[in-house]
């Protein structure tokens, strides 16, 4: 007669708590690729992250009650001062990165990128004391970001017609 193997507290801890941490699905964020027209060509708005000061797009977790583009615009306001912009309904691309979490943990994040033509930007916005922002040509913006897929997206950026 065969019996199932006895489950020890250690093995159930691994099965029920530790292993799922490594098998978590990729989380999703939304980002606004904010741009403005300039006589020399379109410029893209980059901001610094709060902690590491890397150059990034305004981005964040989807917000309850808002769709993807609306969430991205809210992040653009809070993180970069974008007061008024037209934003596309569908993402123009995506990129993945490892996001640092509390106590050294990291999680994979897929970021959906929405194109936003900026009409008005303010100097006083919720995170103005925590971030730096810069307008740059697409090729220069691509050189400043770290994520390879975002580099490619920025380097290939051309403003939509209309």
The angle formed by the CA atoms of residues 55, 63 and 147, to the nearest 5 degrees, is: 25
Q: What domains are defined for the chain? A: 26-155 (3.90.79.10)
For 145-154, what is each residue's pLDDT tens digit?
Answer: 999 999 999 9
CA atoms within 13 A on the CB side of 122: 14
Ramachandran region of residue 55, left (φ > 0), alpha (ψ -120 to 50) or beta?
beta
Cβ neighbourhood burial of 64 (10 Å; 0-12, 13-18, 19+) = exposed
Please report, for the chain, how many H helices and E strands are present, in that order. 5, 8
- Whether the model clears a pTM of 0.75, i.e. scores above it, the answer is yes
Name the band, by pLDDT with cuts 50, 70 and 90, for residue 99.
Answer: confident
Average pLDDT value for residue range 158-162: 79
Would you say residue 158 has pLDDT above 80?
yes
**CA-CA distance, 26 to 63, in Å (whole number)?**
17
């Amino acid at each position: 007669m065969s019996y199932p193997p006895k489950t020890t507290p250690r093995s159930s801890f691994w099965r029920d708590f530790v292993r799922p941490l490594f098998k978590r699905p990729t989380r999703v964020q939304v980002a606004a690729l904010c741009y403005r027209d300039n006589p020399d060509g379109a410029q893209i708005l980059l901001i610094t992250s709060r902690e590491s000061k890397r150059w990034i797009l305004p981005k964040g977790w989807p917000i309850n009650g808002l769709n993807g583009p609306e969430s991205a615009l809210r992040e653009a306001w809070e993180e970069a001062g974008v007061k008024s912009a037209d934003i596309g309904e569908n993402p123009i691309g995506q990129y993945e990165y490892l996001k640092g979490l509390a106590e050294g943990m990291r999680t994979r994040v897929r970021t959906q990128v929405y194109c936003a033509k900026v009409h008005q930007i303010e100097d006083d916005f919720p995170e103005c004391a925590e971030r730096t922002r810069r307008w740059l040509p697409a090729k220069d913006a691509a050189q400043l970001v770290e994520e390879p897929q975002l580099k490619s997206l920025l380097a290939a950026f051309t403003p939509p017609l209309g």
